[in-house]
């Protein structure tokens, strides 16, 4: 059991055997090197719920490993609620939805997650909001009719998410401090764009080390390639966990 490890390993592949092997490697041992696994759109669209059950089977889950199902849902309230209802049986710890879907959509998602979890007798999935995609800059926002700065818009959407019943948001390392201040200590901040000291940043432009992000107030860190593309993913994940005092 390793509840205090904040690292969610992003398994970004459509190769099912490879995903299963990676998950077994970093999360399947007696002392797992990561606190959770993130599966996203590409994996879920390719393999669906059976793929999740295959690559991330119950015995691995039973060790207390978290499951972040990063679907970034965005549709009318009824449809997003239906999507949430369909995946609660997979017992995700976290599910993502877009805050730009608005308060009614977020409320419907939060209520449905709680009601469906209660109905089938599983833990309530925590809902996390996506605010402003880090791929968008000020001019991209302007092109969509949003005049605010990306950082101000992220705070606005996170505040709205909190008021609409979401448990937290995904945010860039550079937004941690402002969002913690705006949304309080109980709001979950899940932070990608993390690079252990000395590792390649890849296509991530604004990165922070795991220790820096946690010190600023991140609850969970999403780390992909520094673990998944390492020659020895388990050792890479263990090194990160040790740096964080989580192993």
**Least distance (Å) between residue 154 CB and ligand C5P:** 11
Question: Which residue from 2, 99, 134, 238 is in contact with ligand C5P, where contact means CB under 6 A?
Answer: 134
Q: Which of 21, 38, 72, 118 is catalytic?
A: 72
Kindly write down the DSSP assignment for every residue of 223-235, as one continuous string.
Answer: E-HHHHTSSSHHH
The site map against ligand C5P for 173-202 (x = CB under 6 A) is -------------------xx--------x
Least distance CB 115 / ligand C5P (angstroms): 28
Q: Which of 67, 32, 41, 227 is nearest to 130 (CA)?
A: 41
Q: Please answer whether residues 6 and 221 qualify as being in contact, where contact means their C-beta atoms are separated by less than 8 angstroms.
A: yes
Shortest distance, position 224 Cβ to ligand C5P, whole Å:
3
Decide whether 40 or 233 has the Cβ nearer to ligand C5P: 40
Number of CB atoms found within 10 A of residue 235's CB: 14
DSSP category for residue 194: B
**Distance (Å, rounded) from C-alpha 90 to C-alpha 49?**
7
Provide the mask over 73-112, with x wherever binding to ligand C5P is found by CB under 6 A and - wherever it is not.
----------------------------------------
What region does 3 belong to: left with phi over 0, alpha with psi -120 to 50, or beta? alpha
H/E run at residue 12 = none
Name the minimum Å distance from CB 119 to ligand C5P.
30
d(CA 196, CA 75): 36
User: Is 205 tagged catalytic?
Assistant: no
Find where tokens 């992003």 sit: 10
129 counts as binding ligand C5P under rule CB under 6 A:
no
d(CA 17, CA 20): 5
| Binding track, positions 22-61, relative to ligand C5P; x by CB under 6 A | ------------------x---------------------
Q: Which residues bind ligand C5P (CB under 6 A)?
A: 10, 12, 40, 134, 170, 172, 192-193, 202, 204, 222-225
Residues catalogued as catalytic = 72
């Amino acid at each position: 059991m390793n509840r205090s490890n904040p690292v969610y390993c992003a398994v970004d592949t459509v190769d099912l055997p490879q995903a299963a092997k990676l998950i077994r490697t970093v999360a399947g041992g007696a002392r797992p090197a990561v606190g959770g696994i993130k599966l996203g759109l590409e994996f879920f669209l390719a393999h669906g719920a059976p793929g999740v059950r295959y690559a991330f089977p119950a015995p691995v889950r039973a060790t207390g490993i978290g499951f972040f199902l990063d679907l970034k849902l965005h549709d009318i309230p009824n449809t997003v609620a239906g999507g949430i209802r369909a995946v609660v049986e997979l017992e995700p710890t976290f599910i993502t939805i877009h805050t730009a879907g608005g308060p009614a959509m977020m409320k419907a998602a939060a209520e449905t997650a709680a009601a469906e979890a209660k109905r089938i007798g599983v833990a309530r999935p925590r809902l996390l909001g996506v605010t402003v995609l880090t791929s968008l800059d000020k001019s991209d926002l302007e092109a969509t009719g949003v005049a605010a700065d990306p950082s101000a818009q992220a705070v606005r959407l996170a505040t709205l998410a909190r008021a609409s019943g979401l448990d937290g948001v995904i945010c860039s390392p550079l937004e941690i401090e402002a969002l913690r201040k705006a949304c309080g200590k109980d709001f979950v901040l899940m932070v990608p764009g993390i690079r252990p000291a000395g590792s390649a940043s890849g296509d991530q432009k604004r990165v922070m080390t795991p220790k820096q992000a946690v010190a600023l107030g991140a609850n969970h860190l999403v780390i992909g390639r520094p673990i998944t593309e390492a020659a020895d993913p388990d050792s890479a994940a263990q090194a990160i966990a040790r740096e964080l005092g989580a192993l």
